[in-house]
A = this chain, B = another copy of it.
Amino acid sequence: MSYVNLKVYSGDSLEELVEVLKIAIARRSLVIILGECRVDYEGRAASRLELGERVVIIKQDSALLVHRPHGYSPVNWQPSTAIIEVTFKPSVGLVLHAVRDRPREYLTVVFVRVGLVVIGELVDQGGFTMYLEERDMRDILAENPWIIEEDLRVLGVEKPIGEGYVDIYALDKSGRHVLVELKRITATREAALQLYRYVEVYRKEHGETPRGILIAPSFAPTALETLTRLGLEYRYVDLKRLWELFKKRESKRVSLQEFFTKK
């Protein structure tokens, strides 16, 4: 294994573990604790979690997660801005304090029993790429505006309108300006209202009412109602079709890169 420091503690007393954990946290190691604990949180809201067996992870940037044996999401947590302290309180247990500012939030984990502690320093430089984000959808449509409608000329993307940004700003074949709002998933009423705000601000600033088009793979009924009521247009977009175009584009980019590398 490439792990420089991967240590496992099992059967140690809480007092012994406190010292181990203090060092690990000071070193910004990854820490995993399996044990029986209580958790209190107070900050934007407040919560109490009674005694039970959980997995607590302290990450190398001091993010802290408390995971129950079920479910996707942590029951309690503290993001990476937190400062973490470990103490041992006799007749109480091993206490983790995680505090962060802005917003001021306090998280306290009290372990009454610890079954296992794992400490390690993970090396993770692997690149992460996400495809089919809204940004990709926007880029593909901006490069292939014929998907939206014929003879559409794209003037810009992420054009600032008032306090927001319209995804695509274009000119149609009759010379009318078009504001396009994109949703990668089902468009809600909020999306329609967002587009409407852009249209209104544009109208006030330019004295010209632009067309507003909402593009999404599907639309909530309230979205359709709102669009119709506000005189906005909409188009369904076939994500698979975009995906195909995207893959082509990606492979092109890759081959170019390879070309340059080889050269």
Contact = CB atoms under 8 A, between A and B. Distances in A.
Contacts of A185: 44
Contacts of A124: 52-54, 68-70
A159 to B, nearest CB: 18
Contacts of A71: 59, 61, 63, 80
A251 interface: no
A51 interface: yes
Chain B CB within 10 A, most for which of A1, A35, A125, A126: A126
B184 A45 contact: yes
Contacts of A70: 59-61, 63, 80, 124
Interface in A32-82: 32, 34-36, 38, 44-55, 57, 59-61, 63, 65, 67-72, 75, 77, 79-80
Contact of A72 (B75, B80, B193): B80
Interface band, chain A: 35 or more
A127 interface: yes
A2 interface: yes
Interface string A1-35: 11100101010000000000000000000101011
Interface in A123-165: 123-133, 163
A235 interface: no
A53 B115 contact: no
Given A45-B131, A61-B70, A63-B71, A122 B50 contact: no
Nearest to A221: B163
Number of identical monomers bound together in the oligomeric complex: 2
Given A45-B130, A118-B116, A125 B52 contact: yes
Contacts of A10: 6, 8
A257 interface: no
A123 to B, nearest CB: 5
Interface string A204-227: 000000000000000000100000
Contact of A8 (B68, B79, B116): B116
A233 interface: no
A-B pairs, top 4 by smallest CB distance, nearest first, are A52-B126, A52-B124, A50-B126, A69-B122
